[in-house]
Amino acid sequence: MQYKAVIFDLDGVLVFTDKYHFKAWKKLAEKLSIDFTEKDNDRLRGVSRAESLEIILEKYKGKPTSEAQKQEYLAEKNDTYRQFLGDMNRNDVSDVVRDTLKKLRESGYRLAIGSSSKNTAYILERTELTDAFDAVADGTMITKSKPDPEVFLKAAELLRETPSNCLVVEDADAGVTAAHAAGMDAAAIGAATKSQRADYNLEAFSDLLRIL
Ligand code: BG6
Ligand code: MG
């Protein structure tokens, strides 16, 4: 086997919480009269909450934002986002995703999460996915988010696996860059397939069963 472990990004790969991130940021942006499009949202994929706010504020035409005000905006965005998460359940993970994860494990691969999100544990719990993984590395354990490799190196460390034995599955260009910086191959799905920078492009999640 070329790989021994698979590290999955969460938002936009296993669950479509990326649309909830967009809606929550959009609500804040509208309040601040900032034009915020789906294209802008692509820049936020894989990027931490605080860095995402900085990107959104690039288009803000008002006075410079104080640190205290930024903290309020971050809390506000996360409150809106968590309301969407609260409505999630098992059905928010497709049968194809669940079935593919199960088959990979049965084939002997170790599976981990590598996500910048500090809401990872909550999402896994809501969707009953926690037990599908051998390790979880998330935004609560790192100081630098993607494109920095820290979260993927953390996942490999938790799995006690060498980076070159790990394949990363990502929907973000920042995540593909992070995987390569960690010395790992990357399989792109969704938005990240456009840039053609990954080692594999997946049309469907189940395509993983052809690569692995
Ligand atoms: C990543 C998302 O998974 O998590 C980003 O792609 C998001 O868009 C980041 O900003 C941080 O998420 P959270 O849940 O900690 O705000
Ligand atoms: Mg993602």
What does the DSSP 8-state code read for residue 11? B
Q: Is 49 in the pocket of ligand 1 (CB under 6 A)?
A: yes
Candidates 169, 172, 136; CA nearest to 46 is 172
Contact 170, 198 (CB under 8 A): yes
Which ligand has its closest atom nearest to the C-alpha of 122? 1
9 is catalytic: yes
pLDDT score, position 1: 86
- Counting ligand 1 atoms within 8 A of each CB, the residue from 48, 88, 113 with the most, and so the one to mutate, is 48
Burial group, residue 103, by CB count within 10 angstroms (0-12, 13-18, 19+): middle
CA of 74 to the centre of ligand 2 (A): 19
Reported residue count of the chain is: 212
pLDDT score, position 104: 98
From residue 125, alpha-carbon distances to 55, 82, 113, 138 in Å are 29, 13, 13, 14
pLDDT score, position 6: 98
pLDDT in tens, the chain (212 residues): 899 999 999 999 999 999 999 999 999 999 999 999 988 998 999 999 999 999 999 999 999 999 999 999 999 999 999 999 999 999 999 999 999 999 999 999 999 999 999 999 999 999 999 999 999 999 999 999 999 999 999 999 999 999 999 999 999 999 999 999 999 999 999 999 999 999 999 999 999 999 99
Q: What is the pLDDT of residues 190-206, one digit of tens each?
A: 999 999 999 999 999 99
Q: Is 44 in the pocket of ligand 1 (CB under 6 A)?
A: yes
For helices 173-181 and 150-159, angle between their N-to-C axes, nearest 10 degrees: 60
Q: What is the pTM of this model?
A: 0.97
